Structure 1
Amino acid sequence: MRKILLTTALVLPLSGFAYAQTAEAPAENAADQAAQAAENSADAANDAATDAADAAATAADDAAEAASDAADATGDAAADAADATADAANDAAESADAAADASADAAADAGDAAMEGEAAADADAAEAAALEAEMASSDKIVREQAGNELRVDWITGANVTSPDGTAVGQVRDLIVDTDNGQLIAAIIGVGGFLGIGEKQIAVPLDQLSINYDAEEITTELTVDEAKAAPEYVFRERAAAPAPAPADPAAPAADPAAAPADPAMAPADPAAPADPAAPADPAAPAPAN
């Protein structure tokens, strides 16, 4: 029994020590694990921080490079735009210079043409003035109507009266002597009505009294003598010589040449007669 007690007395302390050691071991292990976990967490945090810093630095570098590239691209575009603007400005300046030169040349040409035109006009004016001075003293023309001279227009169509004031007829035409250029007779229409059925007689011009520029024309013939006088006989009008036949070797007429003077054209036989026009000396006399 004593051995049992002794054994028990020895075993119990040892068991308590072992138990104590056994209890202390898990605590130490937990502390170690906690420390290890803390260390691991610290390492992970350090690694994460390092990774984040590296990522931030990389992003910053990328952003800086992108900004630099953008700045380079913008600068290149701005430079290109500046170059294009400068080229356009140079082209516009060259065009303006060319236009200015063309305008100056045109103005110079216009000035030269104007000077030439003025010189030609001055020469023409001088020539015309010289010709006018020459013609002013030429005997080829008559410059002024004298007091004793009459116009045919005043005489033709004027009424002719007898010495007692009775109407004899009207002056229809005048006869001119081409040898001496003098008027020798007046053709007077006698009888009829409004020129129809009248007889034309010729009265020497020196037998007529023409007063007040043909406002009053009188004859020594009475009305009966005028009616009994023979009718004046007109001669046939001489025809102009026919033009020479065209030379087949001559050049054709220029269609751009000025047309012939219509005043020189022959009268249209189909045109109605002008009652105010003087009678044609070559026309046949109307029947009594």
Structure 2
Amino acid sequence: MKNLLLTTALIAAGTAGTAMAETAAHAGFTTEAAAEQIHASDFIGMRVYAAETGDVTESEGAGTEWEDIGEINDVIMNRSGQIETVLVDIGGFLGLGERQVGVSLDQVKFVSDSSTDDAEDFFLVLNADPATLQDAPEFTAGDMEDQAAADINEMEKDAAEATASAEASIEEAGDDVAAATATAVDNTEAALDEAGDDIAAAADKANAEMEEAGDDMAAAADEAGEDVADAAENTGEAIENTADIAAAEINEETNEMQRETAEMANDSDMAPFPGTPVEQDYLTAENLDGARVYDAQDKWVGEISELIVTEEGQITDAIIDVGGFLGIGEKPVALKLTDLQILRQDGGDDVRIYTAMAEEELEAMPEFEGK
């Protein structure tokens, strides 16, 4: 009897205790898919049957009581890679009159087809009454759009607060510079006043000595002149030292303001592409398949061709085709999802996927061998 190890996930990666690294030639990379894995690109578009199956896991061909209700259109996953909802197009004829419903993951049954020799043949069966599905509410993305808008508003609020804080810091630094300059000017004026008083006292003393003794008049005058020169020199040095101190204080305040500005710029975690992480409903196999991947210098290094997801519904790896020319000679390599950054352009719709690895490093990785 054949066993298909797919019961609770849309895209399986073997049993829960099996790590994909066991098939890899190098630690941290995946070079081939396990026998029980299913590619997301193969899953989209599969026909879906509806029946109250209970615990049925195997059937010889499609059950007579099953009803073909439509096909898989897409899957919705959260930012952690967990699959939350399966979107099914039901009703209509040749695509006309169809409507889309979202069902939870635990309603999807993978029923092995024992009528063939291929152990991987299976049916997708929704464990539900077909009549119930006809009355099911239609799926809309309104809630996710509202949440995305709320997230954007919150980020804009945080950015505004950071800008206000930076402006306040710059204004405070400017006030400190002005205060330091005013203090330096006051100190210089006081030093000049004190020097002037010393000069006046020396002159008065010289005049008194000149009146007392005629012979000593010249010497007293010379001495007074030397005192005046020394006082002037000392005054000049005091002014120069005071100016140096003021300049040093201004430079220190300016350097501190520049350091704070640099720290705020570093805290913003700027990417080479001015954007923000994509909204939750963008993370679907339909959007990620074929998406271009860029390195840290905004150079196009390849595109995503497949996604690997665990049986719990979490994306673990993205298969990227690198090298080649016009699609010829490309080499698929596997990267962990945590090594990729998915950004939407600020103020636009352009979405880019980034990796820290250069094209040469990607081409040197072991080739991923799918099934």
Quick one: higher RCO (CA 8 Å, sep 6+), 1 or 2? 2
Q: Which has the larger radius of gyration?
A: 1
Superposed pair shares fold, TM > 0.5? no
User: What's the TM-score once normalised by structure 2's chain length?
Assistant: 0.27
Larger strand percent: 2
Q: Which has the higher helix share?
A: 1
